[in-house]
Structure 1
């Protein structure tokens, strides 16, 4: 039995990102409805065409709980024959795309909507940090007040210790993201910043300053996935899903085997293999940037630069629009939009980039775009490789 990902058999034919960044009093399900309508309109399809649905909505600010996918589908008015609610944190939307392609190839559905929405900024009810289970590995961290930021700070401190990565190199990631967001009319923050601005911003958890951390917004997004054959009948078609890979490793940081790398090594390897491509073939990427250290770890884990050399690569302009690998061309999670699961917005920006429609920095006719999502405390990764529809 073949176990290869069905490369190139499906396309993303609709994409829509909510322009909302601050939406007090707006329920996340309303945002779901808005972005699904927007993505279907982009594809020239209607709710009646949809027979597959994927979402994850169990975080407090996403307003769901048990059976969250069922509740969101009910609210929006979708009655799918195939449904997916895989939850691997910020990487979940990428996983949903991979699963949707497999389901379409298997004949379980034909048109899949993948949706996400969250009131990450305005949710009115108290919510603890997401990874606070007090049993299992959590018993070694919860009593000491471990948080998402301090977990990522541990990885940053270790990378700096082992490889000599400097705070200025971390800061340059944030500076470039803000430069990319400068022309994006919907970005949360557009004013240009400097390395000194990042290093002089409030220290949140050493070595991560405030501007090393992603923005916190309300927002949502949706995409439409269908077969290449059905894509011919949509309003404008869209990029092909060429490669996919995912991997999981741990929950709490005390179980992370190596703080200087992530399971993007495995997920990326699978995505490149299924697409028949190598890192050298990719000229633009949308990389999860919950924190500046996330980008450095991901560049190395995916094989774009050797281990320990991402800091120098960034200092030399490697991630700029003129560099070897421009990233996060809309401003990313560090400047444009991060309401909880940034993977959705990274996919949407990849689609826009390949269509020539980025609201931030549009590159000259890229052929491929890699998308990488990271979930949890560097716990789970999914990687997609999209190819321009020709």
Structure 2
């Protein structure tokens, strides 16, 4: 049986303030329909479904399959937030390799209003519900503000250094018609943003949007322009929430990951790293060995500012938006579209190799899940 590939990717339009009629089920359907059309497939071709969503409840993956008119023999429901995209992809690739399914749709998305978002943040898990919410801790903004302060003290980076990440990603967002924030932004605009949780300003925090993202994983014979997965690695709960948060699970898998990827960090054309906050971009890039010599200041002011490295070319979540659980799929969709030559004005010429990292699931103080995938375009 031919090996698995990612056959197609699709993102349902992100909206900052959607109408009430654009529910979670609606955006998930939009993404599934869109990715099937892009792949030239119909419901009868799909025999697997994976979903990640914070607001699908009380429905489950089988309810979604029924409402989409799909009859499947492989299913999964993933709760891992920013790590969900790579995690579902890992399971889907293995399912196709094993012959459990031949054509799997993976979809992630949410439509969360303010009340739903507050409820999610306060009830993310038992630790949050019982120990953080009663303190009115301010949700993840406050937790990652403290992490940013700790990182600043360890590295010497200052506000204008961290600002290079949202500034660079806003420049990329200008090429992405699906990004919710596309207007040009300079350092003065950034500094004028309101303080959310010191030292995090408005543009350091992801804007919540409604939307969904989808991939199709299939056997290679169903796709003439597929994207191949060359390596996947994951490490979860590496510090038992007892560390300082400045090292992710990616550090522990870096050597084995690059040993399997088939190419080196210098060969990567497209980089996607989960960007709920700027500090997390730096931590993941450094943990993966994607910052030459570990020189973060040079990386920020030269590699990013002058586009020597193509990082989060959709604008990332900081400018494109975070559609709940779709945040774990958004950068995968961008990478696949780049490798398939579908990114229009934002296309990186002759892009052939990509690396996408996921990070998520704050158990108490820090994210506990980290994973990474290497992708390569199937071209002659």
TM-score normalised by length of structure 1:
0.88
- Aligned residue number for residue 316 of structure 2: 332
Alpha-carbon distance in 1 for matches of 2:214, 2:47: 15
Runs of 4+ in 1 over 4 A off after TM superposition: 121-126, 137-140, 267-270
Higher helix share: 2
Give the match's secondary structure for 2:374.
strand
Distance 1:169 1:152 in 2: 17
Go from structure 1 to structure 2 and tell me whether the alpha carbon gap of 1:266 and 1:71 turns closer, same or farther (over 3 Å shift).
farther
Distance (whole Å) between structure 2 residues aligned to residue 161 and residue 87 of structure 1: 33
CA distance in structure 2 between the aligned counterparts of 1:366 and 1:293, rounded to whole angstroms: 26
| Cα pair 1:101 1:225 within 8 Å, conserved | yes
Structure with the bigger percentage of strand: 2
The residue aligned with 1:357 is 342
8 Å Cα contact 1:172/1:315 also seen in 2: yes
Contact 2:5–2:217, Cα closer than 8 Å, also in 1: yes
Quote the residue 2:19 is aligned against.
24
Provide the C-alpha distance between the structure 1 equivalents of 2:8 and 2:177, rounded to a whole number of angstroms: 21
Query: Counterpart in 2 of 1:64?
Result: 57
Give the C-alpha shift of residue 114 in structure 1.
0.2
Corresponding residue for residue 4 of structure 1: none
Contact persistence 2:14–2:179 (CA under 8 A): no
Aligned equivalent of 1:5: none
| Deviation (angstroms), 1:132 | 4.8
Q: How many residues align?
A: 370
The Cα of 1:386 is off from its aligned counterpart by 0.9
Match of 2:376 in 1: 387
Which of 74, 90, 100 is 2:92 aligned to? 100
Distance 1:123 1:50 in 2: 35
Question: What are the within-5 Å matches in structure 2 for residues 1-390 of structure 1?
Answer: 9-21=3-15, 22-25=17-20, 26-57=22-53, 59=54, 62-65=55-58, 68-121=60-113, 127-129=119-121, 132-135=124-127, 141-146=132-137, 147-228=139-220, 230-231=221-222, 234=223, 236-249=224-237, 255-305=241-291, 309-316=295-302, 318-320=303-305, 322-323=307-308, 325-341=309-325, 342-359=327-344, 361-377=346-362, 378-390=367-379
CA distance in 2, matches of 1:200, 1:117: 31
Query: Secondary structure of 2:346's partner?
Result: coil
Q: Do 2:238 and 2:248's aligned partners in 1 also have CA atoms closer than 8 Å?
A: no
Given the superposition, is the C-alpha separation of residues 34 and 172 from structure 1 closer, same or farther in structure 2, using an over 3 Å criterion?
same
Offset at 1:76? Answer: 1.2
Q: Return the alpha-carbon distance in structure 1 between the equivalents of residues 213 and 115 of structure 2.
A: 18
Q: Unaligned 5+ residue runs, structure 2?
A: none
**Alpha carbons of 1:94 and 1:347: their partners in 2 closer, same or farther (altered >3 Å)?**
same
| Stretch moving more, 140-149 or 117-126 | 117-126
* 1:319 CA drift (Å): 2.5
Q: Report if the CA contact (8 A) 1:55-1:84 is conserved.
A: yes
Judging changes above 3 Å, is the alpha-carbon distance between structure 1 residues 311 and 208 closer, same or farther for their aligned structure 2 residues? Answer: farther
CA displacement at 1:385 relative to structure 2: 1.1
For the Cα contact (< 8 Å) 1:118–1:219, is it kept in 2? Answer: yes
Question: Contact 2:241–2:368 (CA<8 Å) still a contact in 1?
Answer: no
Residues 4, 217 of structure 2: 8 Å contact kept: yes
Q: 1:212 to 1:256 in 2, by over 3 A?
A: farther
Q: How far is 1:273 from its partner?
A: 3.0
* Distance in 2 (alpha carbons) for counterparts of 1:125 and 1:203: 20
Q: C-alpha distance in 2, partners of 1:209/1:276?
A: 39
Q: In the TM superposition, what is the alpha-carbon distance from 1:266 to its structure 2 partner?
A: 3.2
Unaligned ranges ≥5, structure 1: 1-7
Cα distance in 2, alignment partners of residues 102 and 199 from structure 1: 46
Aligned-pair CA distance for 1:93: 1.5
Higher alpha-carbon deviation: 105-114 or 367-376: 367-376
